[in-house]
Structure 1
Amino acid sequence: MPDAEENHHHRDVSSSNPAMANGKGVLWIFFLLSLMVLLEDFVHADPEDVACLSGVKGSIQDPANRLMGWTGDKLKTPCNGTISELEGVTCNNERVFKLSFAGFGLVGSISPFISNCTNLQSLDMSANRFTGEIPTELQYLVNLAVLNLSVNELTGLIPPSLILCAYLNVIDLHNNRLTGSIPPQLGLLTRLSAFDVSKNKLQGMIPPSLVNRSGVLPRFNASSFLGNKELYGYPLPTPKSHGLSVIAIVGIGLGSGMLSLVVSFTAVCIWLRVTEQGYAAEEGKITHLMPEY
């Protein structure tokens, strides 16, 4: 029975060579570990977050190299539980939870792709040099609670569509170049507790919905709106009258009185001079007509 003898021979070779068996075991372990790593990367890499962060990186310049660690490999797996190796990124439950680039010295525009971070709850891009308009796509960040775009060079209008971010608690847009009026819809954000649009180029009346006076204090005080020359309404102070002050009126009155006195005095002097010259002329005529003795 040659087949039986051959099988028996193979079993003897395998059993007599434990190194070969151990080598196969190591290969299997390595294969399984590699597969686990690949599966882990696949699970952690949410495609929306990847698109979001890739769009953010593509729309900015980074002179200070604060985002130099945002390489392709790390962008593919931005989150590992609550940990992220990307500067400025905080994760929660394998999703991007917070973006904080405050004071990074970034230059560029705010990418509309940021709306792909649908689990984002805090966006802080303050104290940079962002230009352009605030993307209307921010309306899709329905979980957003904090929006801080202050101290930049943003222009254009404040998007009324921010009303769709119903969880917004903070809107800070101060020290930009925003124009137009303040959308009255923002007053319907019931969770809004901090609002600052000071030092922009806004105009028009402050929406009453943002300064509800039903309580003792207004919802937001004057500091939230100062620095907009063409913005008016409560709680901003009433503009001072452009009329003349009492001191100015008194000064003008005194000046006019003095001028009248000077003119009158000058007129009297001229009249006296003319009269004197007239008398002198008459005396000369009389003297000329008198006979000499």
Structure 2
Amino acid sequence: MMCGVWSSTGTVILVLLLITTCGNIPSKADPNDEICLSQLSESLQDPFKNLQNWTKTAFANPCQGFTSFLQGATCNNGRIYKLSLSNLSLKGSISPNISSCTNLQALDLSSNSLSGPIPPDLQYLVNLAVLNLSSNRLSGPLPQQLALCAYLNVIDLRDNRLSGLIPPQLGLLTRLSVFDVSYNKLSGPIPSSLGNRSGNLPRFNASSYEGNKDLYGFPLPPMRSKGLSVLSIVGIGLGSGLVSLVLSFTAVCVWLKISEHKMAAEESKISQFMPDY
């Protein structure tokens, strides 16, 4: 009887040990995440060594289930789920190969000194919900390919050097609740699909677009007509004065000419009545 009890107890303990051991086996790293992290690391400059643990060894196995020991990285079921590298004084550019982190749902590289374009390859981050690249030095166009990231809730690109038109395709993002492109160098009309949204779609006010001097349309206030410069005013004044002077001088000349003819005519009449001596 005792042997049966011990046998049952031993079996239970053995099963528990097996479950615990299997649960601690590290999940196999996704090779795409390794490519993504390696290429992003190469494109970034880290002058203050804030990313010291971003090494090739760590990239080979960046996630232990839901845990990551990489600075700014969050994992979900063995895959990179979120990258938050804001305010780390990072320089360099955003590698197009960041698109290899195909499970990425949030990318925050804000408040750094990143330059160059926003990679159109971000379109392959089909699960991306949050994109925050604000307060950098990014330049070039706003890629229309972002419209393919159908789950985007947040696009924050304020305080950069982006130029060109706002792609109307971004208005197709029905989940978009935050859209901020203020203080860039964007130009042209604000697409109605983003400026005058209808139905249950979230609306964006003027603060989302301010600071782009060549951008216009609702919800921005009407553009004011530019006043005349000081030089223009001076030029108009001088021109008007010169015209007035010429007209006045011409009038005087005409008056003198007419007076001269009148005087000559009067002298001729008087001479006819003078006696000959």
Distance (whole Å) between structure 2 residues aligned to residue 44 and residue 92 of structure 1: 13
Q: Which amino acid in the other structure matches residue 121 of structure 1?
A: Q
Could you tell me whether the CA contact under 8 Å between 1:41 and 1:77 is conserved in 2? Answer: no
Q: Does the alignment pair 1:158 with 2:142?
A: yes
Q: Does the alignment pair 1:170 with 2:154?
A: yes
Distance (whole Å) between structure 2 residues aligned to residue 115 and residue 203 of structure 1: 28
Report the equivalent of 2:79: 95
Specify whether residues 143 and 213 from structure 1 end up closer, same or farther in structure 2 by C-alpha distance, changes over 3 A only: closer
How far off its partner does 1:43 sit? 3.4
**C-alpha RMSD of matched pairs (Å):** 3.3
How far off its partner does 1:71 sit? 1.9
Report the equivalent of 1:222: 206
Distance (whole Å) between structure 2 residues aligned to residue 69 and residue 124 of structure 1: 19
Which of 134, 141, 145 matches 2:125?
A: 141
Distance (whole Å) between structure 1 residues aligned to residue 83 and residue 227 of structure 2: 51
Which of 201, 210, 226 matches 2:185?
A: 201
Distance (whole Å) between structure 2 residues aligned to residue 218 and residue 211 of structure 1: 10
State the SS of the aligned residue for 1:129: coil
Report the equivalent of 1:239: 223
Q: Does the alignment pair 1:115 with 2:95?
A: no
Report the equivalent of 2:237: none
Post-superposition CA distance 1:220-252 (Å, at most 9, x none): 0000000001000011011223468xxxxxxxx
Report the equivalent of 1:51: 35
Report the equivalent of 2:59: 75
Q: How high is the sequence identity, in percent, across the aligned residues? A: 62
Distance (whole Å) between structure 2 residues aligned to residue 223 and residue 76 of structure 1: 43
Report the equivalent of 1:20: none
When Rg is computed on C-alpha atoms for both structures, the one with the higher figure is 1
Distance (whole Å) between structure 2 residues aligned to residue 203 and residue 163 of structure 1: 19
Structure 1 portions without partners, runs of 5+: 1-36, 245-255, 261-293
Distance (whole Å) between structure 1 residues aligned to residue 159 and residue 213 of structure 2: 13
Could you tell me whether the CA contact under 8 Å between 1:171 and 1:194 is conserved in 2? Answer: yes
Q: Scaled by the length of structure 2, what TM-score is found?
A: 0.72
Could you tell me whether the CA contact under 8 Å between 1:211 and 1:218 is conserved in 2? Answer: no
Could you tell me whether the CA contact under 8 Å between 2:84 and 2:108 is conserved in 1? Answer: yes
Post-superposition CA distance 1:165-223 (Å, at most 9, x none): 00000000000000000000000100000000000000000000012254699810000
How far off its partner does 1:143 sit? 0.1
Report the equivalent of 1:181: 165
Could you tell me whether the CA contact under 8 Å between 1:212 and 1:218 is conserved in 2? Answer: no
Q: Which amino acid in the other structure matches residue 230 of structure 1?
A: D
How far off its partner does 1:74 sit? 1.4
Could you tell me whether the CA contact under 8 Å between 2:83 and 2:108 is conserved in 1? Answer: yes
How many equivalent pairs are there?
Answer: 223
Post-superposition CA distance 1:108-141 (Å, at most 9, x none): 0000110000000000000001110000110000
Specify whether residues 96 and 213 from structure 1 end up closer, same or farther in structure 2 by C-alpha distance, changes over 3 A only: closer
Distance (whole Å) between structure 2 residues aligned to residue 187 and residue 180 of structure 1: 17
How far off its partner does 1:72 sit? 2.2
Distance (whole Å) between structure 1 residues aligned to residue 222 and residue 202 of structure 2: 16
Could you tell me whether the CA contact under 8 Å between 1:89 and 1:100 is conserved in 2? Answer: yes
Distance (whole Å) between structure 1 residues aligned to residue 124 and residue 114 of structure 2: 21
Distance (whole Å) between structure 1 residues aligned to residue 221 and residue 134 of structure 2: 24
Specify whether residues 243 and 133 from structure 1 end up closer, same or farther in structure 2 by C-alpha distance, changes over 3 A only: closer
Distance (whole Å) between structure 2 residues aligned to residue 238 and residue 171 of structure 1: 25
Q: Scaled by the length of structure 1, what TM-score is found?
A: 0.68
